[in-house]
Amino acid sequence: MENAETSSLAGLRARGSAIDPGAVTVVLLLLGAAIFLLIGCLKSTNFAQYTIQGLALGSVYGSLALALVLVYRATHVINFAQGELAMFTTYIAYDLGLHGLSYWEAFAATLAIAFVIGTLLQVTVIRPVQHRSVIAVVIVTVGLFILIDGVVNWIWGGDFKSMKPPFGNGSFEIGGVTILHLYVGMMAVVLASVVLVWALFRFTKLGLGMRAAALRPAAAALVGVRVDSMLAIGWGLAALLGAVAGLMAEPSQIFLSPTFMQPILVYAFAAAVLGGLESPAGALVGGLLIGVTLTLIVGYVPKIGAELQVPFVFGVILLILLVKPTGLFGRREVRRV
Amino acid sequence: MTRQIPALASLLAVAAALSVLPFILSDYNIYLAAQVGIFFIAVLGLNILTGYTGQISIGHGAFMAIGGYTTAVLSRDHGTNLIVTMLIAFAICFVVGLLVGLPALRLSGVYLALVTFALAVSVPYLPLQYSTFLGGSVGVSVQPSQVPSNLWVYTAAWACSAILFVLAWVILRGRVGRAFRAVRDSEIAAVASGVELPVYKTLAFGISAAYAGVAGSLLVLANGSAQGSEFDILLSLQILIGAAVAGLGSLWGILVGAAFVGLLPHISASVPVIGKIANRHIDVVFGAAVILIMLLLPEGFAGLLTRIRRLAARA
Amino acid sequence: MPVNRRKLVGLFLGLLITAAAAGSAAASHNGTPGVSKHKIVIGGTFPYTGPAALYKTIPSAEQAYYAYVNKKYGGVRHRKIQDITLDDQYNPGETPGLVKQLVEQKHVFAIVGSLGTAPGLATWGYLNKRHVPQVLLATGDAYWGNCVHRKCPAAGATTPRPWTMGWQPDYPGEAKLYGKYILAHKKNAKIGVLYQDDAYGKNYLNGLKNGLGSHQDEIIDAQSYSVTDPGPVIQAHVGHIAASGADVFVIFATPSAAITALATEGHISGWNPLTIDNNVSNNRIFMQIAANNGANLNGVLSTSYTLSPTANANMAGVKLAKKIIHQYAPGGVGSLDAQFAAGDGNLVYGLAVGWTFVDALKHAGKNPTRASLMRALRHMNEKNNPFIFPGMVVKTSKKRTFPMEQLIFLKWAGGAGGDWKTQGGVVFSGH
């Protein structure tokens, strides 16, 4: 079955010509949004607090969105189980904490474990069906969703667990605006993880191999890149970023429960689609935008109400896919007949 | 004609079995058998959409919700005859399906799956926001005088299954069915040979949603009320899995798919091995089963049947 | 050919419909379901998983009590009590199916102690129609007492519900006391309320308004939330209340939402309202989780009717409770000791309910029937339940359909490691 894909080659050719008007519009829009937020923050402490909360939550959505994009770029699969995988690794961190590890020891160990699980999943379950129909792959990731959910309920039960807050309950006070240590911590950790992964891609031979395997698998194989392994590592890194997202999302939930990543997965989908499914930078920017928009809307528009957040985001996803399916940073689609 | 005999014979066997069951099953097991009938209809509907036109929907729970709430609200507010509410649910969901099918035209493959997934996750939140009309987290109850017995639901579910199965069979045999299959196999080729894509794609969505709507009505009647949490993402995933186990693109495996999805959650602990795990950790069995089926038997039960038939033909 | 096929299809449909119309498969039973020579089987639905799973120690305590009675006394009139509990995840969509299972498959004598207002409302029609006792429910909704002799169409009861009975002091009565307290202690209060958007939460809110009487307009912000809401949504509601300028914050929420609300309140600097927590969420363990996540507990107000394992450790009832929980915890000897020591009030609550059930069963005759059990439950005069505060009674009669109508006020002291301290004596919380 034919897939509608972004053809990087065609995109390169298209870019070769004059300045892309679409890109300029996007940059201007983002600049406008940034200025709007800045002015709002300066004028109202509530607005500032909402914005900071939105940026913190948005960084989590962006991290999960980045995981989705990584997987999609490498294997052209949308991993519907990415959120549940992130939830599973958060439970592992919880469990390690019960066994005596300090929060950050558990954090590090969990990231490593997540990486391993991600690669194993790609090798055992995704690779055999990767080249079959889109439906087959979707169903496999859906099966993973359910399986992981079931395993978590089996091992830890479905009741609510409590994890020790990693950044404590304190806050900074700047100009009348209260900034929770938690929010600063969330953004810092996500930023650090994203920078590390980016550095891996940009500066190491492994990263180069991975980029080649995603871009031109046939050519990469010819120069000796083990394409299959690269794809598996891609899944591993995605699982790692998902683990970061889960761990940083948990403190603001107060409780750890098997369903806590489900709404966040929808927000991450929106972020990935907003940014463009093949754009890592887009995923992060998309995440921040979604986070801030949601917090501001819930804070200021009582009609939308806290309960309508997920339906609202669904509407956003639908709108983006109908109006500009390639997202803010994506390129035009080319369909191969 | 010789090829049709096994098919008709098995259909009759199933019908005969279903007629006899109410005499031998306990009331609770009739309730379970009704659940299988409900999933039969939903899986049948999804198969028409995904199996025959290749449009992936992970959001059919949303259509079930619309159908279910329609029945509940009509019953609560007007005491409408239950069968009439089911017909209304069918009609409403058909229209909603057409409406959903329109933007779906612009989305392909995984994008459609993504959007329908988000839809499925969103739906349980809507009754919470509009709690006066839709009952909030408590939901909408069917009027107490109208709550049907398990036997009624069983009969209605299987009668509808039969009618809708025949309807699907008739549609898929004819020109519409050929158009659907052309759309699935190659959209560009279909257009090239004169198939009007938008018409058939949205039609498939409409029919599929209507089926899910009826299933939703029956589910609400079986439980006595409509609640947002009844129609969560897991329901949508279950329907998809049922369709995959049944075998997309063919009608023969649907009973197996429906039984798999409808009965597995209720297997008592007394069934050896699977029962122990399934009783409390049904999701593990489901998830593992569907992954295995996709890896080993990607064509589902229908595919298995085809393989057996081919072997038999060779022999 | 096509004609034959059509005929066959018609035959197929006809068979189906005829058979179903002629069929009837209801199993019939001789004697009272659930009662045999040596056993009485009861059942209930509880949230072992899901958003209300913090209550899961309640059924454990009830089962421990029955095990204790079975071991120590051989049961009631030589019939051992078996309690089958199923997990409905506090989801009223799940409960009907499970209750059907208990009644039609497990043939239980009665539904005892089931938790949750919404789950109860989802099943009371079915149970009353079949004349199955649905009693000692772990929910304080006023419907359980108000709809015994009359119809309650607002709650979906087009006929009275005599087979349903609560146990704990009802929510409107409790909330009325809070309203009166606010009037007495804070002039011109600005009240913000967080309440669950179902019958449970609305029961409480209406009771509060009742208690405030003509001062109802002091409620300046009432935020409803849904039990399935994730943490951040509840935080948004609390933020809204804080932004409204409320100086009284009333929490009518189930445990996880209440804990989130308390923790969020702690994070909002400069906001120190008089905080009132409904007694369904004032378990010491819940309070500690809230404190660990930033809540300021000192001065928070609530009420109680069952003894606290920690604050009332010296009372005879608590000592007995400790022994029973230690010896008979369903998970094994000692498995719930840590919970008890940390102050899990659910455990004492469960024992208290079990005590009342056994008390009623003893008065249900030599060969209890469902009707005789209901009669016993409707004529109770229990003055010596060891697990509730001294001076409190569990009493029912034709006119008094609410078994418990007394509460005692509590105020938290001692910070994160502290506990509830009783304020004053037993007060009347009834109608």
Compute the average pLDDT of residues C136-155. Answer: 91
A contacts of B282 (beta carbons < 8 Å): 150
Domain-located, residue C192: yes
Type of residue numbered B277: I
Q: What is the pLDDT of residues A194-220, one digit of tens each?
A: 999 889 888 888 888 888 887 788 888
pLDDT band at C283 (very low <50, low <70, confident <90, very high): very high
Mean pLDDT over C370-387 rounds to 95
Residue C265 forms part of a structural domain: yes
Q: Which of B58, B108, B128 sits opposite A307 (nearest CB)?
A: B128
The torsion of the CA quartet A200, A206, A208, A213, rounded to 10 degrees, works out to -120
Residue to substitute from A146, A153, A303, A321, interface B, most B β-carbons within 10 A = A146
Whether C144 and C191 share a structural domain: no
Cα distances (angstroms) measured from residue A251 to each of A56, A148, A168, A200, C292:
12, 21, 9, 28, 11
DSSP secondary structure letters along chain B: -TTHHHHHHHHHHHHHHHHHHHHHS-HHHHHHHHHHHHHHHHHHHHIIIIIHH----S-HHHHHHHHHHHHHHHHHHH---HHHHHHHHHHHHHHHHHHHHHHHTT--HHHHHHHHHHHHHHGGGHHHHTHHHH-TTT-EEPPGGGPPPHHHHHHHHHHHHHHHHHHHHHHHHSHHHHHHHHHHH-HHHHHHTT--HHHHHHHHHHHHHHHHHHHHHHHHHHHSEE-GGGGSHHHHHHHHHHHHHH-TT-STTHHHHHHHHHHGGG--TTSTTHHHHHHHHHHHHHHHHHHHHHHH-TTHHHHHHHHHHHHHHH-
Same domain, C156 and C282: no
Identify which has the larger pLDDT, C347 or B19: C347
Task: Kindly state whether residues C96 and C148 are assigned to the same domain.
Answer: yes
Q: Which residues of A touch B281 (CB under 8 A)?
A: 150, 153-154
Partner residue facing B286 (CB), from A135, A150, A307 = A150
Nearest CA in chain A to B233: A262
C285 and C422, same domain (yes or no): yes
User: What does the DSSP 8-state code read for residue C39?
Assistant: E
Any idea which residue has 């052309």 for tokens?
B182
Instruction: Answer for the pair C134, C164: CB distance below 8 angstroms, yes or no.
Output: yes
Residue B28 contacts A, CB cutoff 8 Å: no
Within a domain: residue C219? yes
**Looking at residue C2, what is its pLDDT?**
43
Q: Is B122 close to A136, i.e. CB distance below 8 A?
A: no
Asked if C23's CB is within 8 angstroms of B23's CB, the reply is yes
Contact C92 B141 (CB under 8 A): no
CA-CA-CA-CA torsion for C391, C55, A160, B281, nearest 10 degrees?
Answer: 170
Task: Please tell me which residue of chain B has the smallest CA distance to C92.
Answer: B138
Residue of C nearest to B27 (CA): C26
Instruction: Answer yes or no: do C55 and C195 share one domain.
Output: no
Token pair of A165, please? 């807050």
Q: What average pLDDT does this structure show over B74-79?
A: 88
ipTM of the complex in this document? 0.82
CB C298 within 8 A of CB C415: yes
B138 contact residues in C (CB cutoff 8 A): 92, 118, 121-122, 198-199
Same domain, C66 and C142: yes
Task: Tell me if C253 is assigned to some domain.
Answer: yes
Q: How far is B138 from chain C (nearest CA, A)?
A: 6
Say yes or no for a CB contact (<8 Å) between C53 and A158: yes
Q: Do C196 and C257 reside in the same domain of the chain?
A: yes
Q: In this structure, are residues A153 and C49 in contact, taking their beta carbons and an 8 Å threshold?
A: yes
C116: left (phi over 0), alpha (psi -120 to 50) or beta: left
pLDDT of C15 above 80: no
In chain C, % of residues over pLDDT 70: 93
| Paired tokens of C324 | 């029973």
**Substitution target from C235, C283, C286 for chain A, most A beta carbons within 10 A:** C235
Instruction: List the structure tokens of B93.
Output: 């969901």
Closest CA to A238 of A121, A324, A332: A121
| Least confident window among B187-191, B200-204, C53-57, C426-430 | B187-191
Closest residue, chain A, to B189 (C-alpha): A337
Q: What is the tens place of the pLDDT at every residue in C190-224? A: 999 999 988 889 999 999 999 999 999 999 999 98
To the nearest whole angstrom, how far is the Cα of B164 from the nearest Cα of chain C? 11
Cβ pairs bridging A and B (under 8 Å) = 151
Per-residue confidence band for B268, with pLDDT thresholds at 50, 70 and 90 = low
Looking at the domain assignment, is residue C321 inside a domain? yes
Report the neighbours of B using a cutoff of 3 or more CB pairs below 8 angstroms: A, C
Residue C337 covered by a domain: yes
Give first-to-last CA distance, chain C, whole Å: 76
Q: Are residues C281 and C298 in the same domain?
A: yes
Provide the domain limits for residue C230.
Answer: 171-304+407-428
Position B209 pLDDT exceeds 70: yes
Distance to chain A for B160, nearest Cα, Å? 27
For residues A336 and A10, what is the distance between their CA atoms, to the nearest angstrom? 11
Q: Could you tell me whether strands C301-304 and C406-413 are parallel, antiparallel, or unpaired per DSSP bridges?
A: antiparallel
Q: What is the CA radius of gyration of chain C?
A: 23
Both C312 and C323 in one domain: the answer is yes
Task: Note whether C252 and C239 are same-domain residues.
Answer: yes
User: In chain A, which residue's Cα lies nearest the Cα of C255?
Assistant: A160
Residue B217 has pLDDT above 90, yes or no: yes
Average pLDDT score over residue span C362-385: 95
Residue pair C254/C281 in contact (Cβ under 8 Å)? The answer is yes
Which residues in chain B have Cβ-Cβ distances shorter than 8 Å to A157?
none
Low-confidence stretches of chain A (pLDDT beneath 50): 1-17, 335-337
- The reply to whether C274 and C418 lie within a common domain is yes
**The whole model's pTM is what?**
0.82
B231 Cα to chain C: minimum distance (Å): 9
Q: How many domains does chain C have?
A: 2
Does residue C256 sit at the A interface (CB-CB below 8 Å)?
yes
Domain-embedded: residue C16:
no
The DSSP output letter for C270 is T
C19 confidence band (pLDDT: 50, 70, 90):
very low
Do the Cβ atoms of B108 and A318 come within 8 Å?
no
Average per-residue pLDDT for chain C: 90
**Does C51 contact chain A (CB < 8 Å)?**
yes
In a domain, C281, yes or no: yes
From B186, which residue of chain A is nearest by alpha-carbon distance? A1
CATH code of the domain containing C236:
3.40.50.2300
- Closest listed residue to residue A20, CA positions, set A335, A336, A283, A332: A332
* Structural domain harbouring A272: 4-334
Residue C23: list chain B partners with CB under 8 A: 22-23, 151
Q: Which of A62-76, A135-149, B166-180, C356-370 has the lowest mean pLDDT?
A: B166-180
Q: What is the CA radius of gyration of chain A?
A: 20
- Do B137 and C197 lie within an 8 Å CB cutoff? yes
- For residue C25, what pLDDT is reported? 32
Residue C240 has pLDDT above 70, yes or no: yes
3-state secondary structure of A305: coil
Is B149 an interface residue toward A (CB < 8 Å)?
no
| Window from A60-64, A204-208, B1-5, B244-248 with minimum mean pLDDT | B1-5
The residue ranking higher by pLDDT, B20 or B189, is B20
Domains contained in chain A, number? 1
Tell me how close the Cα of C256 comes to any Cα of chain A, in angstroms.
8
Report all structural domains of chain B as residue ranges with CATH numbers, in order of start: 4-314 (1.10.3470)
How confident is the model at residue A15, as a pLDDT?
Answer: 46
Q: How many CA atoms lie within 13 A of C19 on its CB side?
A: 20
**Is C236 in Cβ contact with A158 (below 8 Å)?**
no
Strand pairing category for C39-46 and C80-87: parallel
pLDDT for the residue numbered A4: 41
Residues C63 and C117 in one domain: yes
Partners of A52 on chain C (C-beta within 8 Å) are: none
Q: What is the mean pLDDT of residues B112-122?
A: 89
Cβ contact (<8 Å) for C294 and A165? Answer: yes
Of all residues in chain A, the one with the smallest CA distance to C263 is A254
